[in-house]
Amino acid sequence: MAIARINDHDMYYEVLGQGDPVLCMGGWGTFCHDNHHHLARGLTDRYQVVIFDYRGIGESSDDLGVPSTMALHAADAIGLLDHLGLSNVHLIGLVGMGACVCQEIAIRRPDLARSMFNTGAWCEVDDFLRDQLEMFRWLHRDAGFDAFQKAVTLLSFTPEYYNEHHQKLLGPQGGWKELNGRYPAHSRLIDACVNFESRERLATVRCPSFVLHAALDVVTSPRTTLPIERAIPGARGETWADLAHVVAGKEQKIRFCNRLFDWLQSVP
């Protein structure tokens, strides 16, 4: 648990566990602080896991005068890994923005990328995805955090899981809680997302890469994830018929952990 001056901002980060290094990033949130339970169970028992707060959320500062891009967030992550003296790192991007940051790191600093695992991502933004992301922006801005939280939750889980667990998914301790009261930070994260493009650059990725496709995902469906797998030389992929945007439920989480660990252990 520390704060370092990285890429001209104060960056909060944590290093958990021991072993081969792993950088783990999610969507519009953080795995830090009281969110360790959202990490794949057993990950910190097997690996040295690096997690951090994106700019403007948690305890990381931001400079509103600097345009928010995926390249900026990748530079933050790269700066942190250099600060920690790490290389040959497994890059794990779980749901949305974190997976895009992984792509940028693998493209820009191949020496840092031992492997890459992507879920819930994209390599270019079509009109449908752009308008969904912009919808989240104006919902938060014009209708408030609660309306945004309910909308993004409805689009991120299966109906069955939502019906059974919506009381814990919503509210002050529910999903995307780090954005509550921080609309400007959320809007800047959306800026980075809607302007991200990597499709033409993914051919330069040389690390072993795996892309998990979620057939029930209505935000980042196989429509957006299959092009990632196809653009990376030698990439592997797998489609789960029962997976929505977020891995949820005991059985699905166990299956996901097993798949993730099988992948990490297969990397030379």
Q: What pTM value is reported for the model?
A: 0.95
Query: Phi first, then psi: what are they for 228, rounded to 5°?
Result: -65, -50
In sign, the C-alpha dihedral spanning 58, 64, 70, 75 is negative
Q: What is the pLDDT at residue 1?
A: 74
Residue with tokens 């009261």: 181
Sketch out the chain's domains with CATH numbers: 2-124+198-266 (3.40.50.1820)
pLDDT per position in the chain (268 positions), as tens?
Answer: 799 999 999 999 999 999 999 999 999 999 999 899 889 999 999 999 999 999 999 999 999 899 999 999 999 999 999 999 999 999 999 888 999 999 999 999 999 999 999 999 999 999 999 999 999 999 999 999 999 999 999 999 999 999 999 999 999 999 899 999 999 999 999 999 999 999 999 999 999 999 999 999 999 999 999 999 999 999 999 999 999 999 999 999 999 999 999 999 999 8
How far is it between the farthest Cα atoms of the chain? Answer: 49
- Which ranges of 30-157 would DSSP assign to H, the alpha helix? 43-46, 70-83, 97-108, 127-138, 145-156
Q: What is the pLDDT at residue 201?
A: 97
